[in-house]
Structure 1
């Protein structure tokens, strides 16, 4: 399993590739699957704002394309020293591919600023098990 410093480095590299000309808020993510594979992503903005992609969404898309289905831990690196946590939509996206004890780290380029489980980040969440199966 990669150490947290390596995951922060990978997320910061992804952040540096972000396309964020409108918000000037580049974000990078590195996630680790239950099989130990690592996927990264960055945010990609669009002049038609709702059409952009968050970094978490980009990393999860890469994971799914690579055959991954379960996130064990995810590192989010924002542009400043302030804590940068996933937005509401991304919390739900992470939830789709996680367990309640998946670890979410909010970091700057050097260190962890906040550590929480998915259950702490998104308590009483809605997921696949809440849907009636036909």
Structure 2
């Protein structure tokens, strides 16, 4: 599904605003995300660090988990923003979560508003999904 510029601009601003709530005292690397559901709701997220680095949470997963915890599972778009030279790139864990929930449009950006719009397949080629588990279980019967 093609996103119109008005939606992209709104999601960009929401992600940028969310970035300001980042809790990143260790890396000082702020990231924001805005997730649009197919029925028009927007959920935002930011990165939240922890002194035990493995317990930190990325902005993308924060937004997705907030939405899913509220009963949402149908997503049209996700914008991720960071203070990077090029559009920010999600980590592998975030790519897997984005794929799990089938976000249709992933928009990677930065404070200069350079945009890279991708599909899940482009973001995570050969991704692992529940279908792989179902296929594996049916082979073992």
In 2, distance between residues paired with 1:62 and 1:26?
19
- How many residues end up aligned between the 2 structures? 132
Show the 5 A alignment for 1:18-37. Answer: 18-37=22-41
Partner of 1:85 in structure 2?
89
Q: TM-score, normalised by structure 2?
A: 0.86
1:131 is aligned to 2:133: yes
The normalised TM-score by structure 1 is 0.90
CA RMSD of aligned residues (A): 1.7
Query: What is residue 80 of structure 2 aligned with on the other side?
Result: 76
Q: What does 1:1-134 correspond to in 2, within 5 Å?
A: 3-98=7-102, 102-109=104-111, 111-132=113-134
Contact kept, 8 Å, 2:87 with 2:114, in 1: the verdict is no
Greater strand share, structure number:
1
1:85-106 deviations in whole A, cap 9, x for unaligned? 111000001111115xx11111
SS of the equivalent of 1:8 reads helix
Give the deviation of 1:121 after TM superposition. 0.6
Deviations 1:76-134 (A, max 9, x none): 000234221111000001111115xx111111235242111111010111111111268
Post-superposition, which runs of at least 4 consecutive aligned residues in structure 1 deviate over 2 A?
109-113
